[in-house]
Chains A and B, each alone.
Chain A
Amino acid sequence: MRTFTRLLTFLRPYRRGVIWSFVLAVLAMVATVAIPWLTGRAIDEVRDGDQDQLVTLGLLIGAAGVFRLLLTVGRRLVAGRVSLGVEVDLRQRMYAHLQSLELAFFDRQQTGQLMSRATVDLQSVRFFLGYGLIFLSQPLLTILVAAVAMMAIDPVLALITLAPVPIVVLVAFRYGKRSRPELQELQQRIGELTAEAEENISGVRVVKAFAREGRQLLRFEASTRRVFTQAMVTTRQRAFYQPFIGFLPQLGLAALLFVGGRRVIDGQLSLGQFTAFYTYLLMLLGPMRMLGMALGLAQRATASGARVFEILDRAPEIVAPEGAPALPPGSGAVRFDHVTLRYDGANRDALHDVDLEVAAGTTVALVGATGSGKTTLAQLIGRLYDPTEGRVLVDGADVRSVDVVSLRRAVAIVDDDPFLFSDTVHANIAYAREDASREEVEEAARRAQAHDFIARLPEGYDTRVGERGLTLSGGQRQRIAIARALLADPRVLILDDATSSVDASTEQSIKVALREAMEGRTTFVIAHRLSTIALASEIIVLEDGRVVARGTHDELLEISPLYQEIVEKGLPDSVFLTEKPRERKVAGF
């Protein structure tokens, strides 16, 4: 209930619209209810043979129709505006909130989970706030007003004939409640079927190579059977409830004929009143069903609302203090002051008591096995995470004390598997500086050794890349990411060397690009190969989150056995001659 009332606060900016739509709805309802009443009166006039009265009543019904038309149009427009406004607000608020949460939050959440909250749950909340309230209030009003009208005519008959109403509402509500989990389960199984089909199409070569078509078909059949079984569960529910909901009100009508008919014969009720009753009952068929549905909607929206609030209530952890100053000017000196970091839920430190000072303008290579803390260390500089203990300083300022955006604009990262947005090459390079001219973008691309291949793309710099665009090879994506970082012109540059192999000539040009990128700034290179280590003036060796050695290549060969081992066994390229293939949709050769 708490969640429910909290959901209603989203309507606050629109209270005028909400009030208006209620007023209009009530008035329209009065007109709606008036029509059967007038019709009943007209029937009585017919029996009395009064033509003039008949025409007058007819015209009154027409007038009520016009009145209702205008009110309903108005109500729909007002309510539509409110509901769409709420939708935009909710979605924007959710998105803004997600953008303000720290990265650690995203590490713990699956993207799919977040997506489902931001789409499915949001959808049911806004559907309820937008339409559900109307669905809830309108049938309720209709039933109430009609019930009052019927009571006015004949209270006993009204009670008898309205008896099925609460049952219908309850049954409809129950149907909604019962069918939802079953329908979700059906969706789930269809999802599994899709995954099964997807897997077989993507892995078709393996299936064929092992001549396993028959077995895969059996598996797929089992999946289709599971879908069928569940579909039949929902079918049985539908087959039972839907006709049942249609059946119950008919009992009210039968009761009307039975009891009401007798009353007319006894003269307690006029035939016109009887007709009015009949029409009212017909009129209530829709609202009864709708009320049950709307109750279901409300219940669902409350559940979804709880999940939405779970995110909205999550306070962002990485925020700069109110009115934090921008990063002070400098040329990118970085200091780790006894830094320890343990990720949430981890049982050991990712970094342990790291104390490092890196002078402005130097290039440092971070070397170590997977999981030794290289990437974590680099991510602390741009304050993508906060250390558990100790401080990180950039140009003398604790990163926690300065404006986050100003800090991040001074620190650029080139990932090992760079993420490109579904946009043009130009927009991707100009990501950090949207206003950059084509000349500036080209200049950055040239320095990143990317211009040549970009010029050969079908539409040059206007070629769309990323998930919904042209697929680029790993080496190409990396050079675009380098250009993106160059254009940002950061004080500190973090390069995560590609873990995927590229051919000799691509590697050569990436190396040239990297050297260009390091010029005049502090650079951290997370190196996986000897050739990139060679770019650095100093090497830091990490093991299990600790700095174990520091020095030049030659120094380290003498003092660090770990470094020796890495150089001897780990880093020489064993990949030879061939280019890394473009990502393929279908696995195979």
Chain B
Amino acid sequence: MAGPISGSPRGPRVAMSREELRRRMKQTGGRGRKIRGLLELLKPYRGRVALMFVALIFATAASLAPPPLAKAAIDDGIVPGDLGTLDWVVAGFVIAALTYWGASYVQTYLVGWVGQRVLQDLRKKIFTHLQEMPVGFYERRQAGVLISRMTNDVEALDSLVSDSVVTLFQASLTLLGTIAILAFLDLELAALTFLIFPVMFAASLAFRIISADAYARTRNTIGAITGYLQETLSGVRVVRAFGQEPRHLARFRALNLKNRDANMTTVYLNAAYFPAVEFISAVATVGILIYGGMQVIDGEVTVGVLVAFIAALNGFFEPIQQLSQLYTQYQAGMAALDKIFELLDEQPDLVDAADAVDLPSPLRGEIVFDGVTFSYRTEDDEIVNALSDVELTIPPGQTVALVGATGAGKSTFAKLVARFYDPTAGAVLVDGVDLRRARTDSLRSQMGIVPQEPFLFSGTLRENVAFGRLEARDDEVWTALRGVGADDFVRALPDGLETQIGERGISLSAGQRQLVAFARALIADPRILILDEATANVDLHTEGKIEAGMRRLLAGRTAIVIAHRLSTIRQAGRIVVLDGGRVIEQGTHDELVAAQGAYWRLYRDWAENTAA
């Protein structure tokens, strides 16, 4: 277990390779970072943290009180027959119990409060950080992984922060307190009792480590079952259509049995461990009873001490088991923390320059590509040019259709205009300003983007249309909707503008989502528009609406359209044909067809196919 739990990197290990040493050193360094990071997060709440510790000490002390009080009751009250003392002790007992209740309440509450606040801060921190990262960052990573940083990893920390920390302190304090009390009562008997410590601790830790594996296996196998269930339910049509139910039943049974076997291992482990713990406690009782009993008979120890010892045995096992349980939680939490800080340490590589200027408002909308090359590194470490030496001037108000096969560089072209990336060489200028010297906000607030999949946010239809201009009034929203021909369907919705459209606008049809995305771009009245045309076929009626809506949207602004439909391409003021990252042709549809070049060949192939 080369885990963060093992202490210093310089252990008594033989022949540790330098690599291994370096790795371990690094791990230790990482731990420093993690602890510093955690303390940082706790800092704003230090008052409450301090208060929590005070409450914790009170609660633990109160929970430790009963055995010595019982001893006092027996030795000073019951045996000498002193009723007054007995009553005092009983009063102390009740006070201890009340203190325990009160202090535990305060402590549990504060831990929950601070823990949840810290998690909230951490989530916000990750979220803010993610939003600062450039678009390129997202392309290198799976969305699921990033989401899991904010959810699963933070939750792993949740149990560490709100559970483990308290358990760690409480169990340690209880253990130490019990040891102190016992040692105070009778050193010799205490020493005998402590003999079982290492046995218990080793057994518990071993059990944790072995069972962690076994439990991981049960989780994996149950995960497989859930996954299979999910898949065969989603694909139930295919299963039925091909009449393959018996096969899936057999396969499901196999997965089921695998899960049972994994579970059986944990049954074996538990059947060995828990009774063994009980057994050890019985053995310890016997040992103390016989040895201590002899001493009582010899008059060296009082009966009260003996009873207190037997009572205290119960208090031992719980903290030891709790502490060993922490191990796995600690590991999971630390691993999560590692991943979170790794993400937070990543610096955005596309930030506004210190002397960045605001673009003029309103923009005229002229775009110039001045010898632009954009290259990136592939997974195999090859450097690929997505765009090579593109030289292009788009006058204000023109619609440019980008045409070319997948990978020709169309979307890279569009992304450079939006400054999702910076060019590797050359410059992109808007109204004569190099985008690297412009404030990104001032660019994007005058730019509209319509992605191919019109991504909508859950919320009302109104919120989605007014996404770029929250202050927009209802009549402005309606004007935008009317502008793209979406007012009919919105009016027909049960709650009109206030209709909840569901996650990603799921309650709308594909064509309707497209229209909403148009309206969203239109209401922002951008000077520059980037539009990635959808390829999905929609029904006849909607198709016509989309075409009209798009025409309205493009009018009067500079537009770059990644075009797939002939009607769109035909209407563009200029067609730019890209191939392998280079501009190979440009002109209007008629010019390019007349030229009989690459565009003409593509057009001819398409026409033949359609006629077939």
Contact = CB atoms under 8 A, between A and B. Distances in A.
Are A and B part of the same complex? yes
B139 interface: yes
Interface stretch (A5-13, A165-173, A231-239, A301-309): A231-239
Interface string B449-480: 10111010110000000011010000000000
B112 A232 contact: yes
Interface in A538-576: 566, 569-570, 572-576
Given A80-B264, A209-B444, A501 B73 contact: no
Interface in A250-306: 250-251, 253-254, 257-258, 261-262, 264-265, 271, 274-275, 278-279, 282
A49 interface: yes
Nearest to B459: A219
Nearest to A576: B566
A366 interface: no
Given A51-B294, A99-B249, A271-B78, A235 B112 contact: yes
A199 B504 contact: yes
B411 to A, nearest CB: 4
Contacts of A211: 440-441, 444-445, 468
B25 interface: no
Contacts of B231: 421-422, 466-467
- Classify chain A's interface size: 35 or more
Contacts of A257: 69-70, 73, 86, 89-90, 93
B127 to A, nearest CB: 5
**Cβ-closest 5 pairs across A and B:** A65-B282, A235-B112, A80-B267, A243-B104, A408-B243
A192 B539 CA distance: 34
Interface string B76-94: 0111010100110110011
- Classify chain B's interface size: 35 or more
A232 B267 contact: no
A578 B290 contact: no
Given A201-B138, A432-B242, A35 B303 contact: no
Given A235-B108, A409-B242, A569-B540, A504 B289 contact: no
Contacts, number: 452
Interface string A200-220: 111111111111110111001
Given A119-B226, A193-B123, A231-B112, A210 B524 contact: yes
Contacts of A103: 236-237, 240
B489 interface: no
A499 B123 CA distance: 40
A69 B272 CA distance: 9
A338 interface: no
A205 B234 contact: no
B144 interface: yes
B282 A64 contact: yes
A511 B138 CA distance: 37
A42 B264 contact: no
Interface string A409-436: 1011101001101100000000110100
B383 interface: no
A402 B234 CA distance: 27
B11 interface: no
Residue picked from B106, B131, B260, B311, most chain A C-beta under 10 Å? B131
A576 B565 contact: yes
Contact of B290 (A55, A118, A232): A55
Interface string B423-447: 0000000000000000011001101
Nearest to A102: B240
A208 to B, nearest CB: 6
Contacts of A278: 70, 307, 311
Interface residue SS majority, chain B: helix
Nearest to B242: A432
B286 A62 contact: yes
Interface in B284-322: 285-286, 289-290, 293-294, 296-297, 303, 306-307, 310-311, 314
B278 A69 contact: yes
30 contacts: A35-B285, A39-B310, A46-B293, A54-B297, A61-B282, A65-B279, A76-B267, A81-B267, A103-B236, A194-B147, A198-B143, A202-B455, A205-B420, A209-B447, A228-B120, A239-B109, A240-B105, A257-B70, A261-B73, A262-B83, A262-B86, A279-B310, A407-B243, A421-B235, A488-B242, A504-B606, A530-B610, A531-B612, A573-B609, A575-B535
B514 to A, nearest CB: 13
Interface stretch (A350-358, A451-459, A581-589): A581-589
B489 to A, nearest CB: 15
A47 interface: yes
Interface stretch (B251-259, B331-339, B353-361, B365-373): B251-259
A408 B240 contact: yes
A194 B123 CA distance: 11
Contacts of B414: 589
A194 B148 CA distance: 9
Contacts of A213: 131-132
B47 interface: no
Given A220-B127, A421-B238, A576-B565, 14 more contacts: A35-B282, A43-B307, A68-B278, A73-B271, A111-B234, A118-B229, A202-B455, A209-B444, A253-B66, A262-B86, A278-B70, A370-B539, A415-B237, A530-B610
A404 B455 CA distance: 42
B605 interface: yes
A210 B285 CA distance: 72
Residue picked from B89, B264, B293, most chain A C-beta under 10 Å? B293
Contacts of B537: 499-501, 528, 575
A115 interface: yes
A72 B457 contact: no
Given A246-B101, A581-B452, A95 B229 contact: yes
Interface string B133-146: 00100110011101
Contacts of A418: 238
